[in-house]
Chains A and B, each alone.
Chain A
Amino acid sequence: MQARVFVTLKPSVFDPQGTTVAEALHTLGYATVRDVRQGKYFELEIDAPSADEARRLASEAADKLLSNPVIESYRIEVTS
């Protein structure tokens, strides 16, 4: 079972890296790119009996370690 965890800064939190990447894209001529938010991506290979169990475990990992709830939120996708 694989759980993919996408960690991003909360919308209310300023993302200086994303802003800089957006500016670089504008320099390259991609004027239609309105905004960039940079985040982190994790692939967790999990031995779990079900997708629900894998999701539960990934969620726990994201709460405890992979994300900081003060500044970040996350989304999980599970594939077998």
Chain B
Amino acid sequence: MKFAVVVFPGSNCDHDTYHVAKEVLGQEAELIWHKDRSLGRADVVILPGGFAHGDYLRTGAIARFSPIMQEVSKFAAAGGPVLGICNGFQVLLEAGLLPGAMLRNRSLQFRCQFLHVKVEQTNTPFTLASRPGQILKMPIAHGDGNYYAEPDVVSRLERNGQVVFRYVSPAGAVTDEANPNGSLNNIAGICNEARNVVGLMPHPERACELAIGSADGLSIFESILKKTPGVISGAEVSEITPGVFSLAAGSQTVLNK
């Protein structure tokens, strides 16, 4: 399986994402410059975190006009799996590949911390390796993660099961205290109607090795491997990264405490 990781000027999680694909999962991966006009033969496209174009104007507002975004749109329209992480999520929103917009965090603070999200939907290419309701411990690092959409849009997202991740307490309760930025309905991640484009504010790529605090994010990358049977089996993934399958056996989060 080949991962394409798009690099905008100001991306700063591109190499972390590349590292997970290449070193942790042992897959093919390529960094694609935002001015390129081809994604190569990518099987999955990831828009990484960072501060594309300095977050000038609005987060993601300028990045969406980068030449590569036309290719990302075509790839998404053809059903290709696209994941936007943090700033990548913001770019997907600005590009109209996902509905809604980001506001400044209600605290006006840049929040950088580990927190918990609940996997609300497992029928996306990035969550099918998760259990429904599984709680993942992952870090966030953003100043503009306050998800907003018109009330009818939010209702539609909820009705269609497009809310993929929600901020929750460690025990899994959807509370205001667990909401780090003021997002409507504690929304941490959503998908499009076709379910192949997913965006989330937390950083799974920073939570793929226990040595750095959590390996819960691996389930998101594992999902995409499972999506293409034959590319790599679950057993092989387990061999590459011992401990991954404790996700299924028990909560990784508990192990991390």
Partner of A70, one of B100, B105, B107: B100
Partner of B108, one of A12, A16, A71: A16
Pair A20/B148 contact, Cβ less than 8 Å: no
Q: Taking the complex as formed, is A14 at the interface, i.e. its CB lies under 8 A from any CB of chain B?
A: yes
Pair B57/A66 contact, Cβ less than 8 Å: yes
Partner of A68, one of B94, B104, B108, B182: B94
| CB under 8 Å from chain A, chain B span 141-192 | 146, 148-150, 182
SS of B interface (majority): loop
A20-B108, A68-B94, A71-B148 known; A14 and B103 CB under 8 Å?
A: yes
| CB under 8 Å from chain A, chain B span 97-113 | 99-101, 103-108
Pair B104/A70 contact, Cβ less than 8 Å: no
Query: With A and B bound together, what is the CA distance between A40 and B108 in angstroms?
Result: 17
Pair A70/B58 contact, Cβ less than 8 Å: no
* Contact code string A1-37 (vs B, CB < 8 Å = 1, else 0): 0000000010011101100100000000000000000
Question: Which residues of chain B have C-beta atoms less than 8 A from A40's C-beta?
Answer: 57
Most chain A CB inside 10 Å of its own CB: which residue of B62, B150, B182: B150
CB distance from A64 to the nearest CB of B (A): 9
Question: Which residues of chain A have C-beta atoms less than 8 A from B62's C-beta?
Answer: 65
CB distance from A67 to the nearest CB of B (A): 9
Query: With A and B bound together, what is the CA distance between A17 and B105 in angstroms?
Result: 9
Interface residues on B, range: 20 to 34
| Nearest neighbor of B100 in chain A, beta-carbon distance | A70
A13-B103, A14-B106, A16-B104 known; A68 and B61 CB under 8 Å?
A: yes
CB distance from B155 to the nearest CB of A (A): 15
Pair B101/A68 contact, Cβ less than 8 Å: yes
Question: Which residues of chain B have C-beta atoms less than 8 A from A14's C-beta?
Answer: 103, 106, 148, 182
Question: Which residues of chain A have C-beta atoms less than 8 A from B100's C-beta?
Answer: 70
Pair B104/A65 contact, Cβ less than 8 Å: no
| CB under 8 Å from chain A, chain B span 193-217 | none
| Nearest neighbor of B102 in chain A, beta-carbon distance | A71
| CB under 8 Å from chain A, chain B span 61-107 | 61-62, 65, 93-94, 99-101, 103-107
Partner of B101, one of A12, A66, A71: A71
Interface residues of chain B, those whose CB is within 8 Å of chain A, are 57-58, 61-62, 65, 93-94, 99-101, 103-108, 146, 148-150, 182
